[in-house]
Amino acid sequence: MIKRLEKRSTAGNADTSNGSNKHCFIGPVDGNQNPARRFKPAHPLISAGTLGVANRGRLIQALYDMGASSRVELARVTGANRATIGGIVQPLINQGILVEGDVVPANRTGGKPATKVWFSRQAKPICAVLLMPERVRACLVSLEGEIYAQHDADLTTDLKDASDGFQIVSTCVEEAIAFAHLPVLGIGLAVAGGLNAAKGSILAMDLAPCLHGFPIEAELTKRFGVPVCIDPNTRALLVGDRWFGQGRGQRNFAAVYVGESLGAAIYVDGHLYRGAAGEAGQIGHTIVQLNGRICRCGRRGCWETIASLQWLRNEAQARGLPQPGSLDAGRLVSLAKSGTEGAKELLQAYAFNISVGLANLQQLAAPNCITLHGDVVRGGKWMLELIEENFRELIFNPADKQITLAPGDSEDVASLRGAAGLILAELLDVII
Ligand SMILES: [Zn+2]
């Protein structure tokens, strides 16, 4: 259940780009009717409402791209006219989301002085939650992207049922929220697992099977009485990268997570691409080996069967490397550097297998940049260089020479900021 922050009616500030002009501050909204919502129906024509949310989205992104900006600068960057920008900015100031700050002096040609706007430090924070297979992390995120009041809990203990798991998650959230001096705006939840997007429930989470099918969005809403938004971790990573990291200013890029599972989120022509029913990004289950190994999805030869941490650990065991059950890219690189037999070959194979999926993604979507998250980042510079070398050999489009492969911010930072960004987008009714 999402409640949007609606703009307050402001004399002389009609939002010409948005059909709605409600007086209510917060009102219940059926998620499926919200054009910025995750499962919006396809729009054959752009409606006035869609233009409104698109312009708000551009404005929020422009602020994160440029920092504090005047209305004139925002109009120039977003392509919207100044009246439209005024109609978007004023309600956000009234809501306490934005605040006016430094004054830009009048220019020599007689232009008026302009005031810069930026996110208010006094605004309510957002609670961001990252639910990983073995742990949960909750924190507060300011609208400027500052992360604080982090609380972690272990999900590896023997959980009897979903209520056990939920108790751990909600205690973690409670501890983070208790730190806030103001009520939080909402809770953004990034989940490293399969989701039923329409129901806001977890479909499947490896290593935390008691949470399978658990309607976590509805339960958190009930428990904390604030809007909750749940999304796959890869989408949170992408939004974190787009607003605060390597994806800043990009119009076409992708975020890829390599770890216990493999997934991607794609940003196409300035928007997060969710696909029909929110199913886009399951790149781990694209088939790269005909008649390959059985994947946990039941099919054969998925990318996950040759590039996940599980594959790495199975291979390490088969090759006789030490402590294969806890191996990751960081330790593999150390073993290779110290000359452990078989380590360098396994590192090369791991890097090659990862680059296969990245090259497929590049051929299909042609992003300008792919940010890499998860285990691959632990492998550091050497691992990234090996991946890039293979990747460039596997792609054949000359235009793709412009492509950048970049390590993302450490995964939790990008995920937590992105989870906060996703709920903020829902609350402000903007299209990311
Ligand atoms: Zn699969």
386 & 258 share domain: yes
pLDDT for 104 equals 64
Q: Is the pLDDT of residue 348 over 90?
A: yes
In sequence order, the β-bridge partners of residue 137 are: 130, 152
Query: What's the pLDDT band for 297 if we cut at 50, 70, 90?
Result: confident
**255 and 226 in a common domain:** no
Q: Of the candidates 122, 138, 164, which is a domain's last residue?
A: 122
Distance 304 CA to ligand 1 centre (A): 6
Q: How far is the CA of 143 from the centre of ligand 1 (A)?
A: 37
Q: What is the mean pLDDT of residues 356-382?
A: 92
In angstroms, what is the span from residue 204 Cα to ligand 1's centroid? Answer: 13
> Measured between alpha carbons, how far is residue 315 from residues 204, 236, 306, 373, 380 in Å?
25, 30, 10, 21, 20
Question: Is 266 found in the same domain as 214?
Answer: no
Which residue, among 244, 353, 348, 347, has the nearest Cα to 305 in the 3D structure?
A: 353
Write out the residue range of the structural domain in which residue 218 sits: 126-236+414-424
* Same-domain pairing of 142 and 175: yes
* Predicted pLDDT of residue 244: 85
Residue 242 lies in a domain: no
Q: Kindly tell me the burial class for residue 210, based on how many C-beta atoms sit within 10 Å of its own C-beta (0-12, 13-18, 19 or more).
A: middle
Please provide the average confidence, as pLDDT, over all residues in the chain: 81
- Do 61 and 190 lie in one domain? The reply is no
- The CATH number that applies at residue 340 is 3.30.420.40
Query: Could you report the per-residue pLDDT of 302-314, keeping only the tens digit for each?
Result: 999 999 999 999 9
Q: Please give the distance, rounded to the nearest whole angstrom, from the Cα atom of residue 295 to the centre of ligand 1.
A: 5
Distance 285 CA to ligand 1 centre (A): 4
Same domain, 41 and 180: no
CA angle 252, 256, 257 (to 5 degrees): 160
CATH value at residue 71: 1.10.10.10
pLDDT tens, 25-71? 222 333 333 333 443 433 334 444 556 677 888 888 888 888 899 99
Residue 313's pLDDT is: 97
Q: How many domains are contained in the chain?
A: 3
Whether 395 and 276 map to the same domain: the answer is: yes
CA 255 – CA 241 distance, rounded (Å): 8
Based on the domain organization, do 179 and 328 belong to the same domain? no
Examine the fold and report which residue of 68, 88, 122 is the final residue of a domain before the chain moves on.
122
Dihedrals phi, psi of 330, to nearest 5 degrees: -60, -45
Q: What's the 203 CA to ligand 1 centre distance in angstroms?
A: 15
Whether 275 and 396 share a structural domain = yes
Q: Helices in 34-122 by DSSP H: which ranges?
A: 48-66, 71-78, 82-94
Rounded to whole angstroms, how far apart are CA atoms 172 and 155? 11
Specify if 429 maps to a domain.
no
